[in-house]
A = this chain, B = another copy of it.
Amino acid sequence: MTEFGFIEQIRTRFASLPDNGFEGIGDDCAVLPIGGGESLVFTADLLTEGVHFLRAATTARELGGKSLAVNLSDVAAMGARPVATLLSIALPPNAADAWAAEFIEGYRELSATFGTALAGGDTTRSESGITINVTAIGRAPSANLKRRSDARPGDVIFAAGELGASGAGLRDILAGRCDTPQAAVHRNPQPQVAEGLWFGTRPEVHAMMDLSDGLASDLQHILDRSGVGAEVEVERIPVAPGADVRTAACAGEDYKLLLTAAPDAAERLAAEFAARFGSPLHPIGRITAAPGLVWLRNGKPEPLDWHGFEHY
């Protein structure tokens, strides 16, 4: 069973339960309107040793930051401000004390950067590896929330940063080269919190999500949820230094925002983004009414066997 198969099974089996005001599963975060025109959003990510990280290839401090970053990225992808997290951590005896203190320091540093409170959590012993779960809570005016389901035919598809550095870094780490610039990017993802908040205030931004599993896989979620298709121009995919275009399209953990915007406002949006954040917003293609994800090279469809990262 794949991760998405498992989630689909869960969604089906829980469909008859009351929703208690929560929007259903299927976006970067769950949404709960709380009155006064505001909503809270919720997301959780579980990191397990040997699957999401190798203890020998990352410092505890970096891992503390990354555990938080991947969740803040999901909150940012909704256009919401991360306000608090709950941290659960299972530690084997050989990672207690000094390791745990460094982990907490990395977690605290990134919490301070984004002004996020630590509201609770759980700590426990583990018989084997380290496991970390972070639940993040965000808050936003309900009108600012961006979902995967709002892409419209004609929308310009944007990537809010260069792609592939993290994937290239993972390749370096698995080859034993932990000191490359790309390996450092892989270990220290920077969630686009300010960028996500800014996109939240822009009505011309329709759909948004964060790129955690790779463009090829993540864009498909927007297409599925919105009932649309897309054409992506391979030459326009912004490839980070040290990566190739296939890595940029297929590897995960870039944690850059992927969004679609109304065509008549797209150029101005990109210009204002560049002025505000000092880096370009990269147009990579268009949403189409016809379903399916089509890769274009020199304006012509090219059959590419490109897929994103599968969790298991």
Q: Is A120 an interface residue (CB 8 A)?
A: yes
Candidates B30, B115, B118, B127; contact of A86 at CB < 8 Å: B30
For residue A122, which residue of chain B has the nearest CB? B46
Residue-wise interface mask of A (2-27) relative to B, using a CB-CB cutoff of 8 A (1 in contact, 0 not): 01001101100110111111100100
In the complex, are the beta carbons of B115 and A13 less than 8 A apart?
A: no
| Chain B contacts for A116, CB-based, 8 A | 17, 20
| Chain B contacts for A133, CB-based, 8 A | 44, 46, 88, 122, 133, 135
Q: Is A129 an interface residue (CB 8 A)?
A: yes
- Shortest Cβ gap from A59 to chain B (Å): 17
- Shortest Cβ gap from A228 to chain B (Å): 24
Q: Is A266 an interface residue (CB 8 A)?
A: no
Q: Which of A95-103, A158-166, A273-281, A284-292 contacts B (4 or more CB under 8 A)?
A: A95-103
Complex Cα–Cα for A51 and B124 (A): 9
Residue-wise interface mask of A (153-193) relative to B, using a CB-CB cutoff of 8 A (1 in contact, 0 not): 00000000000000000000000000000000000000000
Complex Cα–Cα for A52 and B123 (A): 12
In the complex, are the beta carbons of B22 and A84 less than 8 A apart?
A: yes
In the complex, are the beta carbons of A118 and B10 less than 8 A apart?
A: yes
Complex Cα–Cα for A83 and B139 (A): 18
Complex Cα–Cα for A86 and B44 (A): 7
Copies held by the complex: 2
| Chain B contacts for A17, CB-based, 8 A | 108, 111-112, 115-118
Q: Is A303 an interface residue (CB 8 A)?
A: no
- Chain A interface bracket (under 10, 10 to 19, 20 to 34, 35 or more): 35 or more
In the complex, are the beta carbons of B135 and A22 less than 8 A apart?
A: no
- Shortest Cβ gap from A142 to chain B (Å): 13
Complex Cα–Cα for A86 and B31 (A): 12
Candidates B9, B101, B312; contact of A124 at CB < 8 Å: B312
In the complex, are the beta carbons of B46 and A118 less than 8 A apart?
A: no
In the complex, are the beta carbons of A42 and B83 less than 8 A apart?
A: no
Q: Which of A32-40, A197-205, A234-242, A246-254 contacts B (4 or more CB under 8 A)?
A: A32-40
Complex Cα–Cα for A6 and B98 (A): 11
For residue A47, which residue of chain B has the nearest CB? B124
In the complex, are the beta carbons of B6 and A50 less than 8 A apart?
A: no
Give 8 nearest A-B pairs by CB, closest first. Answer: A50-B127, A125-B312, A133-B133, A128-B128, A30-B119, A46-B88, A20-B83, A135-B135
